[in-house]
Amino acid sequence: MLRDITFGQYYESHSVIHKTDPRIKIILLILLIVFIFLAKNGFALGFAVLSVITIMLITKIPIKLYFKNMKAILPVLIFTAVLNLFYGESGRVLLSFWKLQITTDGVSRAVFMATRIILLIFISSALTYTTTPNDLTDAIERLLSPLKFIGLKNAVHTLAMMMTIALRFIPTLIEEAEKIMNAQKARGADLENGKLTERVKALIPILIPLLISSVRRAYELAEAMECRCYNGGEGRTRMKQMHLKGRDFVVLGASLIICGGILTLNILL
């Protein structure tokens, strides 16, 4: 179970969104988030809600999975909503105690904020569920590539290479940590019981061998990379080319219509 972590949250369901160019997906995510926060009135927000639900349905990913991601963010969500409740400046006073008062304006602010955060979670999940971490890394490298014109070429390449290697070694290191843990348990180490300080102390004999072996691995990997003629980003080509296809433009167009819709409703109503 733990070993599948390299796939992150990726869930294969063969939808159009899965096949969309990851670069387009990242740009659209940013765009939609901005517009969700720009929605001023109920109609615009309602339209955004409908659009996000439609996107979620198109991904063909079980709705249950989307709600799973909500759990982690629930405290933040409640906190933000409650805080916003007291920030109403106008409107009818519904409740008032001590120096605080809740107005109708505050309630609507709270609802708006909560809805926006929920939409934000859903739409970002739609990206991570439909894109493998490898594709994400690749897309980020390519999206950041204009930075090379301001002299950051190597920084972008190095960052992408680091992400690739990190992703590759996560399962390997987890496996190794499990092995070391078992070896220490076999020697009588007690990892599960005891006070917090005791448990933290029990982790030291696991972390030190893990650290040492990681350094050794890094050294060997560097040698192997050198043997494969790695010489930084200079003069490097890529096997996988990203080309925008017809469906990418359809997705792009649909998203622009959503953004346009939100803007129009904002102005008209």
Interface residues toward another protein, by CB under 8 A: 3, 6, 133-134, 164-165, 167-168, 171-172, 175, 217, 220-221, 223-231, 235-241
The number of residues making up the chain comes to: 269
Nearest approach in angstroms of CB 196 to another protein is 33
Indicate the residue among 93 and 221 with the shorter CB distance to another protein. Answer: 221
Indicate the residue among 198 and 220 with the shorter CB distance to another protein. Answer: 220
**Separation CA 166–CA 164 (nearest Å):** 6
Give the closest residue to 232 by CA, choosing from 157, 160, 164. 157
Cα 96 to Cα 17, 86, 244: the distances in Å are 48, 10, 56
Cα 103 to Cα 86, 94, 143: the distances in Å are 7, 5, 45
Nearest approach in angstroms of CB 67 to another protein is 28
Nearest approach in angstroms of CB 3 to another protein is 7
Nearest approach in angstroms of CB 164 to another protein is 6
Q: What are the contacts of 248-251 at 24+ separation with CB within 8 A? A: 248/20, 248/21, 248/24, 250/16, 251/16, 251/17, 251/20, 251/24, 251/28
Nearest approach in angstroms of CB 133 to another protein is 8
Indicate the residue among 68 and 168 with the shorter CB distance to another protein. Answer: 168
**Separation CA 190–CA 111 (nearest Å):** 48
Nearest approach in angstroms of CB 135 to another protein is 10
Indicate the residue among 203 and 210 with the shorter CB distance to another protein. Answer: 210
Indicate the residue among 31 and 174 with the shorter CB distance to another protein. Answer: 174
Indicate the residue among 38 and 215 with the shorter CB distance to another protein. Answer: 215
CA distance between the termini of the chain: 50
The alpha helices in 86-193, defined as continuous H runs, are: 104-130, 133-144, 153-186
